Amino acid sequence: MNGGAKMDKRVAKTQAKAEKALFQLMQQQNFSELSITDIANQAGISRMAFYRNYQSKEDILNKFIQKEYTRFIAEITAHQLHGLNQLLEVYLNYFKIHPEVLSAIVNASIEGFALTKQNDYLLDFFKTRFKQQAPSPLAIAYYSGAIFASLLYWRQTNYQHSAAEMAAYLAEKIKNDLQQTKEF
């Protein structure tokens, strides 16, 4: 094994530890109260190792969300999903399979941060996938808010409905709204 591959494995391991530690801490504490020292101690890494990989605790969140978004796009591409209902079902299933992510977002009081990231990724997604048919940025922000509020509701009701039911409901509402709305 060459030195670069060994270093890449070490970096990946350190980042995985830091991400896991952050999400464990976010289950218990508000994000604004967390320190780099808290994260490093929980991860079993030094502050120096933390700063070799991240600039801030927000950087961990950004990199984690980017990685998950990339995984989401790969899954959509691999399964050749194009319908809104299918796309929403894959998205919702992620949160049903990984309830700790949504719990961490709520417990750490970073819903605004998560919603902003979701808006950014939905806007990017629609611009790259549906170039001519993409809703306006205002419409995407509106639908993103509805999707996020539905995720929070779903969590509160202990994921009582299936991801398919939730996706069908949201897709129908969004499609009906898009048909009735003339954007300004």
The pLDDT tens digits of the residues spanning 66-95 come to 887 888 778 777 877 777 888 899 889 989
* Residue 183 CA to its chain's centroid (Å): 27
> Is residue 23 within 8 Å of 101, Cβ to Cβ?
yes
Indicate the burial class of 28 (C-beta count within 10 angstroms; 0-12, 13-18, 19 or more): exposed
**Residue 108 gets which letter from DSSP?**
T
Mapped onto helix, strand or coil, the DSSP state of residue 136 is coil
Give the angle 165-168-173 at the CA atoms, nearest 5°: 125
pLDDT tens-place string over residues 112-161:
998 998 898 888 887 877 777 778 889 889 999 999 999 999 999 999 99
Phi/psi for 152 (5° steps) reads -65, -40
pLDDT-based confidence at residue 3 (cuts at 50, 70, 90): low
> Is residue 166 within 8 Å of 150, Cβ to Cβ?
yes
Please report where in the chains the tokens 């961490």 appear, as a residue: 104
- How many Å apart are CA 76 and CA 132, to the nearest integer? 20
The pLDDT value recorded for residue 184 is 40
The pLDDT value recorded for residue 135 is 82
Phi-psi region of 109 (alpha: psi -120 to 50; beta: other; left: phi over 0): left
In sequence order, which residues have a C-beta less than 8 Å from that of residue 169 and are 6 or more positions away? 150, 161
Token pair recorded at residue 169: 């409901």
pLDDT-based confidence at residue 4 (cuts at 50, 70, 90): low
